[in-house]
Structure 1
Amino acid sequence: MTDAATSNEPRPIKRLNETLINRIAAGEIIHRPASALKELIENSLDAGSTSIKVSVKDGGLKLLQIQDNGHGIRKTDLPILAERFTTSKISSFSDLSRIATYGFRGEALASISHVARLSVTTKTKKDGHAWKATYSDGVLVPAKAGQSADPKPSAGNDGTIITIEDLFFNTPTRLSALRSASDEYARILDVMTKYAVHNSRVSFQCKKAGSGSPELTTPANSTIPQAIKLLYGHTIANELLHATPTSSGEQDPDESMDVDEEDQDMDEKGSWRSEVYFTNANYQAKKTNFLLFINHRLVESSRMKRAVEAVYTSILPKGASPFVYLSLEVDPKHVDVNVHPTKKEVHFLNEDGITAEICSAVQATLAKQATSRSFETQTLLTRHLTIPSKVAEPKRTQSSSAKGKGRAIDVDQDENRNDDDGEEEQEVDTQLPSTSKPKVYAHYKVRTNLKDRTLDSMFPVANPSQLTGTQAEQSRSKLRPSSQMVPAQLAEESTTPSDTPNVKVRQSEVFLVSIKNLRQEVENARHNQLTEIFEKHSFVGIVDLEKCLSLIQFSTNLYLVNHASVGEEFFYQLALRQFGDMSRLKLEPPPPVQALVEIAVDAEDTSSSPLSKAEIAEKITSRLISRRAMLAEYFSFDISEDGHVLSLPLLLKDYIPNLDNLPNFLMRLGPQVNWNSEAECFETFLRELAYFYAPLSLTGSFSGHEKDNDPTREKAEVSERWQIRHVVFPAMRKYFVAPKSLLDRDVVQVASLPELYKVFERC
C-alpha cells in the first residue's frame, strides 16, 4: 500500500490532463463501431444526403468508412471540425427545445478522433475540388510525416467521406471487451437496417471492404413497407398491418402538424402523431423486433416496448413475439433530447398517455384482422374422414366427462392408403368435448405428412445406387475418353424411393481458430424465418431442372427455390461442418490430374494470359500435387505422388456430384483458392468444393446432345432429380442454416393459400 493510502490526510484534488478528459468523454459516446456509425449516419442525414454507402473491415475495428452525397463541409470549418462542442446545430441553450436535427452536441467526430485515426474528404457544390484533412485528438495533423497539417486538395464528389481506421488502438481495455469482428459487423448491419427502414427515401449500402457485392442495399425513394420487405423479408412484410394514431384521435397519415398555429392546444395536452407497422397474429418470432423512432431519432424505450408486447399477450402463443416499427413525432418543446450522451434515450411529456393511445390503436387494428389468423393442422386437402370416438377421443377424467357436441374431424390416413387403388371414405359420428378446437376452414389446412404425394412421385424415379456399374456410368454425361471414371462405391440403397434417407452429418471437433470463426460467421448470418422454412418445409417438386428451380411448401405458403444457389450454400456448410473428418469417394480408375485440368483449360479463353494453355495446366497441376498432404488431411482429397486423383471428399451420403464438372473444379482450385492465408485458403477451397457439389444445370454437360430422345441425358436427369428430391432437401431440414442473402432472388414466395381463396371468392 502507498503512503497516501495509509495516511489519514485527504488526497489533493488535481486538474486532469486535457487528453485524458477527452478520452474519458469519448468513451461515453463511442462504445463500439456500431455506435460510431450511428453518429456518422445521423450526420449524413442532417446533411441532406440521398445516398449513404458504408465500407467495413474486421467489424469496423480496422476500417469504417461512410460516404454520402450531402452538402459537404466548408474548407474554413475543417480546422475545428473535430474539436469538442463545435456544432452548426445550436447557438444557445434555448435551441434545445426546438432541435430538429440528429446531432447537436458536436462530440461525435471529436470523440472518434481521440480513439481512432480519422480522415475527412469533403466537397461542397461551390468548390471546384474536394479537401482532405486528417485528425488526431481533435486537431489537424499531417497525413504523412514532413507535410503540413492543413487540408489538402483532393479528388472527390459532392458530399463527405469519413474514414475511421484502427478504432480503439489507444484504449486496449475497450478493444479487448468487444466481441468478434463478425458480431460487431452484425451490429453495424442492424443499425443500418433500422435507419434504412425509417429513411426509406434514402439509398443505403453496406459491404465488407474488398467485397464485390454489398451485404445490405436499398433503393432510393421507396416506401416503408417496401423497405421492410427488402430488409426483413417476405415473411414479415406479408403479415404487416398499419395504423396512424394521432393526438386528435384520427388516423390520417397525411395530416400535417403545424406547431405555430396550435400552441394553445399543445399547451393543454400536447400535439403528436405516429405511424405504426406491426405484424398480425400469423407472424410469430422468438424475440420482439421493436424499431422505435421519436422525432426521427432511433431510441430505445423499455416501457413502450413492454406496453406493445402486452397487446400481443392474448393474441400470440406463449413465447411468441411480434415485429413492430413505430415512428412518433412529438412537439419538440415537449421532448428532452439531452438526457443521454449517445441520444439513445429521450424524455417527453405525457409519455404514458401517448403510449396507451398508440397501443389502443394497435389493438383495435389487430381486432379487425382477427379472422385472418392461420391455423396449421395435420390434415390433407383432399381427404375427409371421420373415425370412431374410441380412437378420436382423448382419455377423460370424471371431472371432464361433460357431454360434447357431435362433429366430424379430419385425420391423416395416408400411411394406410394405396396410391394406385381407390379407397372409400367412411363417416362415423363421434362425440368430442365442448372444449375442442373450432372448425378449421379448408384454406388453412396444410399438408405436413412427408408421405403425401408430390409432383415427382407421379413419375417413378430409381435410386442411382440401384444401377449397375455400367448403368451408373451411363447415367452421367460422358467425359472425354481419356478421363472417364466412376465412383468405386456408390451410396447405399434406400428402402423405397419415397423414403427420406437417414441423413447423419456429424460435426468434427476442430481447434483451428480460422475454422471456428468461419462456423461462427455462418451462425451470425442465420435468418431465423428462412431457416425455419427449410427446416419444416414439404417438398412439392422440381419445376425446371435446367433453370434449377424447385417448389417447397411451408405453412400455407408456396416458395420457388433456386436449388443450385441454395445447394451451394448448403454444401459449403456441410463441408465446414465436417472439416478434417470428411468421408471419401474413391474413383476407379484414378484419373490423372493434369489430363483433367487440360480439359478445363482448353475450354477457357486464355488470350489475356502471358502463359500458354499447356503452361497454365502444368502450373495448376504442380500446385495441387505440392499440397497433396494438406488436401488429404483437411479435405479427404487424395492425390497420388504421380498425380492421379484417388478420392474426392464425400459430403453427403447417397449424393454423388456431377463428375463432368471435375475438370473445371480442379482447374479453379489453382487461381480461385488463396493458398497463402490459412483462413482464406480454407474458406475459398470449401466454396469451390461447394460449387462442385451444387446441383447445377446439366445443359453444359450435354452440349453436343439433342435435348429430346437422348437416353444418356434422360438417365442423368432421372438421377439428378432423385438426388435433389430424396437427398438434398431432406438433409436441409436437419442441417441448413439459411442466410438472409438467399431472400434477394433465390427464395421467392409465389403463392399463399388464404390469398388464393380470396381470389376464388371473387370469381
Structure 2
Amino acid sequence: MELPRIRPLDEAVVNRIAAGEIVLAPSSALKEMLENSIDAGASSIDVACKDGGLKLLQITDNGSGIAKEDLAIVCERFTTSKLRKFEDLQHISTYGFRGEALASISHIAHLSVITKTADDSCAWKCLYKAGKVDPPLSQPQAVAGKDGTTITVEDLFFNFPSRLNSLRSPSEEYAKILDVVSRYAVHTTGVGFTCKKYGTTANDITIRANVTQKERIRAIYGSSVASDLLEFSVEPEPSFGLSKCSGYVTNVNFDNKKSIAPIFFINGRLVTCDPLRRALQQTYNSYLPKGHKPFVYLSLELDSTNVDVNVHPTKREVRFLFEDEIVDHISAKLAEVLSNVDVSRTFLTQQLLPSPKRVATNQEIVSSAPKKARPLPTLSQYKRPSEHKLVRTDFSQSTISTYLPQQSKIETSFTEGTQRTKVKLKSIFELKHETEQKVDKRLLEIFSRLTFIGVVDSLKRLMCFQYDVNLFMADYGCLCYELFYQIGLSDFSNFGTLRLSQPVSIDQLLVENGLDHGKDTVVSVFVEMKDMLLEYFSIEIDTEQPEDPRIVTLPLLAKGYVPDLGKLALFVFRCGTKVNWDDEKECLGGIIQQLALLYVPGAKEDDAEIASTLETVICPLLKSRFLPSSDLKPDVVEIANLPGLYKVFERC
C-alpha cells in the first residue's frame, strides 16, 4: 500500500481555515471591525444587523478612513499599518495589529468597503472576495460619502455550512452582538455608539460620545445596576508591572440573581481572565446573599513588556507576568472596599405564596430609609427561603434510610413529621386542572381495579393486566410517563430525596455521554436556578467549585423505585436546553415532564426485574393515584374477555 504523500494545502483552504479560527460568529466579526474603527480615531460608531448579523452586518465610523492606494491590499492577510517587526508586539497599543480581520471575513462572506479620508474629494468603494478586489483588476469606484469608513458584511459563512448550522438563532446571535457593543461602549469614553436591527428606526443601544462611564453603564445595564455602583481603584504596584486598575463594581446591596459576565479590559483590550473572575466572585460570596451576582467592570494597565497579546486567534485572551500577585492584590482591595461600605443592608420580606384572592407584596427595609412596595418576585428572581424549609417530604412516606440493591450509588432519605407545604402557585393549579379535564372515566374505572398479569415484551414495554373479566395489553412506558407526570404535579415542592453517594459533575456527565454541545448553557442554567430546583424539586446542586457544579440529590417520585441513572445525562441536558425558563408555567411543567421521562423504565431484556417493579411499585400507584386521559386509549387494548371466550368455545 502506497503511503499518502505530504503536500501543501491549497491557498484557498489555508485562508478558510484561518478565517474559521478568527471569525467564530457574527459577534466576533463585529468585534474585529469595532476595534479597527476605534483605532482609526472614530468618535461615532454605528452598527446595523440583519438576521443576527448573518444576512448583513454593517459598521459605520467617522474615523480617519483608508487611503485609496491601500484599498487594493486592505483585505490581504498580514497587511497592517500598526506593526513592522516582531519586537513591536512588546509595545503594541492598538487593538488590531496582525492584519487578519478583514482578510478572514472576506473569505467567508461578501465584503464591501466605502471609505473617505479628509484629503479625498469623494469616497471610494471596493468589493472583495477571498482577500482580493472583486472582480479582479477592477479599480475603486467613486461614490458619495462622508469622512470615515463603512464596512458591510453580507451572507456570513455562506461557504462554511458546518459553521452556519452550528450557530444559534438570529435573536441569540443579535444578543451577542449587543453584548459586544455594550462592553466597548462602557469602556471607550469619547466615542458614541449605536446598534440596531437593519431597517428599523429605533436603536437598541444609544450612547453619546460625551457621556461618563457611570452613565454609560446606566444606559446599557439599567438604573438597578448604576444606583448600586461603587467607583473602584487599586494602588499601583510597579514591582508587578501594574500601573493602574480602575472601574466600577456593585455594592453589597445589589439585588441580582441573573449573572452578568464581568467586563475586563487589559491595556485597553477586551479580554477574559478566569483567575481574576473567580477571585472576585469568591470575595463577593462573603458579602452577598447566596446566589446573588455582582456587576464588575475593571480596566487594568500593565507594563506592555509583561503582556503577550498574541496567544489567541481572536485576541480574546492575553498572558501577563505576575498574574497571581496582581489578582490577589485586586481581590484584597475589593474585600477592603466592600467591608468599608457594609454598614447597611437591604432585606426583602415576602409571603412565599399568594392567595387566590390577594397578591402578596414585598417590603424593602433599609436602615434609616422609608419603606417602599415592590412586586412579588418572578421565577427568575426566586428568593431562597429559610433553611428549615428546604427539606420536602411526602406525608405517606415513613422515616427510613436504605441502600437499594439495584442502584448502590443512591441513598433514599425522608424526614418524618414535617408538614406538607401547601402549593398556591397559579401555574401548578392550571397544570393540574388541565390534567383533570382530560380524564377518561372508563379508563379510570379500569385502572382503579386492575390486577397485574405479567410482562409481554420488556423491549417493547408491553404488559398485560386484568380488569373484571377482561384482559388488557398496555404500553407501560406511556402509562408510566403520565403517572410520574401527575405525581410530579401532586407532590410538587414536597418530594423525598435520592442522595447520590458521590456528587455527579454536570460538566463531566454531559461530556461522557456525548452531550457537550450547549454544555455551558446547561451548566449556567443549573447554577443560576439551583435555589429554585432545591426548593421545588429537591434537586441539590453543589457549587462549592463554581466552575464545576455537581448534582447531590434528585427527587424521589415513588417509594421503593429508583430511576435508571443511565438516563441522568439526557435529563440534565434536556432540562437545560428544552425547558423554557422564561415562563413560569412552561418552566415548572417542562421540568416535571423531564422528571417523568427520567422515571419511565427503560427497555430491558430482564423481564423478571421489570415485572417485579411493575407489580410492586407501578401498578399499585396506577390503582391509587392515576388519572388516565383519553389520549391513552390507543395504548390500552382489550385482547380478550370472558364472555367472548365462552362464545368461541361454544362454536368449537
Match of 1:120 among 94, 100, 113: 113
Deviation at 1:222, TM superposition (A): 1.1
Task: Summarize the Cα distance change of 1:502–1:28 in structure 2 as closer, same or farther, 3 Å threshold.
Answer: closer
Is 1:443 aligned to 2:369, yes or no? yes
Identity %: 50
Match of 1:233 in 2: 222
CA distance in 1, matches of 2:290, 2:425: 34
SS at match of 2:285: coil
Query: How is 1:81-100 mapped onto 2 (pairs within 5 angstroms)?
Result: 81-100=74-93
Match of 2:32 in 1: 39
CA distance in 2, matches of 1:448, 1:338: 49
Deviations along 1:658-706, one digit per CA (max 9) or x if unpaired, are: xxxxxxxxxxxxxxxxxxxxxxxxxxxxxxxxxxxxxxxxxxxxxxxxx
Match of 1:140 among 133, 155, 158: 133
CA distance in 1, matches of 2:97, 2:426: 62
Query: How is 1:10-409 mapped onto 2 (pairs within 5 angstroms)?
Result: 10-142=3-135, 149-248=138-237, 268-283=239-254, 284-377=256-349
In the superposition, the TM-score normalised over structure 1's length comes to 0.47
Which amino acid is 2:163 matched to?
Answer: R
Deviations along 1:494-544, one digit per CA (max 9) or x if unpaired, are: xxxxxx998999999xxxxxxxxxxxxxxxxxxxxxxxxxxxxxxxxxxxx
Which amino acid is 1:443 matched to?
Answer: A
SS at match of 1:244: strand
Task: Summarize the Cα distance change of 1:357–1:149 in structure 2 as closer, same or farther, 3 Å threshold.
Answer: same
Deviation at 1:286, TM superposition (A): 3.1
CA distance in 2, matches of 1:440, 1:239: 14
In the superposition, the TM-score normalised over structure 2's length comes to 0.55
Which amino acid is 2:307 matched to?
Answer: V
Deviation at 1:165, TM superposition (A): 0.3
CA distance in 2, matches of 1:59, 1:208: 8
Deviation at 1:14, TM superposition (A): 0.6
CA distance in 1, matches of 2:54, 2:177: 11
Contact 1:378 1:447 in 2 (8 A): no
Contact 2:45 2:60 in 1 (8 A): yes
SS at match of 1:52: strand
CA distance in 2, matches of 1:276, 1:449: 32
Contact 2:50 2:56 in 1 (8 A): yes
Task: Summarize the Cα distance change of 1:65–1:309 in structure 2 as closer, same or farther, 3 Å threshold.
Answer: same
SS at match of 1:354: helix
Deviation at 1:281, TM superposition (A): 1.1
SS at match of 1:371: coil
CA distance in 1, matches of 2:73, 2:426: 68
SS at match of 1:66: strand
Query: How is 1:553-592 mapped onto 2 (pairs within 5 angstroms)?
Result: none
Match of 1:535 in 2: none
Task: Summarize the Cα distance change of 1:271–1:279 in structure 2 as closer, same or farther, 3 Å threshold.
Answer: closer
SS at match of 1:35: helix
Contact 1:132 1:152 in 2 (8 A): yes
Deviation at 1:227, TM superposition (A): 0.3
Contact 2:271 2:316 in 1 (8 A): yes
Deviations along 1:558-616, one digit per CA (max 9) or x if unpaired, are: xxxxxxxxxxxxxxx99xx9xxxxxxxxxxxxxxxxxxxxxxxxxxxxxxxxxxxxxxx
Which amino acid is 1:64 matched to?
Answer: L
Deviations along 1:234-253, one digit per CA (max 9) or x if unpaired, are: 000000011211325xxxxx
CA distance in 2, matches of 1:48, 1:138: 25
CA distance in 2, matches of 1:47, 1:448: 47
Deviations along 1:472-495, one digit per CA (max 9) or x if unpaired, are: xxxxxxxxxxxxxxxxxxxxxxxx
CA distance in 2, matches of 1:43, 1:116: 18
Contact 1:22 1:111 in 2 (8 A): yes
Contact 2:240 2:325 in 1 (8 A): no
**Runs of 5+ consecutive residues of structure 1 not aligned to the other structure:** 1-6, 249-265, 380-414, 416-438, 451-499, 509-572, 578-763
Question: Which ranges of 4 or more aligned residues in structure 1 deviate by more than 6 Å?
Answer: 500-508
CA distance in 2, matches of 1:44, 1:378: 50
CA distance in 1, matches of 2:313, 2:273: 16
Task: Summarize the Cα distance change of 1:372–1:149 in structure 2 as closer, same or farther, 3 Å threshold.
Answer: farther
Deviations along 1:113-142, one digit per CA (max 9) or x if unpaired, are: 000000000000000000000100000013
Deviation at 1:37, TM superposition (A): 0.0
Deviations along 1:63-95, one digit per CA (max 9) or x if unpaired, are: 000000000000000000000000000100110
Contact 1:66 1:161 in 2 (8 A): yes
Contact 1:378 1:449 in 2 (8 A): no
SS at match of 1:372: coil
Question: Whose strand proportion is higher, 1 or 2?
Answer: 2
Deviations along 1:184-242, one digit per CA (max 9) or x if unpaired, are: 00000000000000013211001111101111111111111010011000000000011
Which amino acid is 1:19 matched to?
Answer: A
CA distance in 1, matches of 2:287, 2:113: 51
Match of 1:599 in 2: none
SS at match of 2:150: strand
CA distance in 2, matches of 1:95, 1:36: 25
Which amino acid is 1:304 matched to?
Answer: L
Which amino acid is 2:300 matched to?
Answer: L
CA distance in 1, matches of 2:46, 2:372: 43
Task: Summarize the Cα distance change of 1:315–1:158 in structure 2 as closer, same or farther, 3 Å threshold.
Answer: same
Q: RMSD of aligned C-alpha atoms?
A: 2.8
Contact 2:46 2:60 in 1 (8 A): yes
Deviation at 1:270, TM superposition (A): 2.1
Task: Summarize the Cα distance change of 1:155–1:304 in structure 2 as closer, same or farther, 3 Å threshold.
Answer: same
Query: How is 1:611-626 mapped onto 2 (pairs within 5 angstroms)?
Result: none
Deviations along 1:429-488, one digit per CA (max 9) or x if unpaired, are: xxxxxxxxxx974637555799xxxxxxxxxxxxxxxxxxxxxxxxxxxxxxxxxxxxxx
Task: Summarize the Cα distance change of 1:449–1:164 in structure 2 as closer, same or farther, 3 Å threshold.
Answer: closer
SS at match of 1:376: strand
Which amino acid is 1:233 matched to?
Answer: G
CA distance in 2, matches of 1:39, 1:448: 43
Higher mean Cα deviation, 129-138 or 211-220? 211-220
Match of 2:602 in 1: none
Task: Summarize the Cα distance change of 1:122–1:344 in structure 2 as closer, same or farther, 3 Å threshold.
Answer: same
Contact 2:345 2:366 in 1 (8 A): no
Contact 2:76 2:103 in 1 (8 A): yes
CA distance in 2, matches of 1:244, 1:180: 39
What is the total number of aligned residue pairs between the two structures?
Answer: 376
Which amino acid is 2:35 matched to?
Answer: E
Query: How is 1:454-465 mapped onto 2 (pairs within 5 angstroms)?
Result: none
Contact 1:124 1:158 in 2 (8 A): yes
Task: Summarize the Cα distance change of 1:35–1:363 in structure 2 as closer, same or farther, 3 Å threshold.
Answer: same
**Runs of 5+ consecutive residues of structure 2 not aligned to the other structure:** 352-356, 358-364, 377-423, 435-581, 587-652
CA distance in 2, matches of 1:440, 1:246: 32
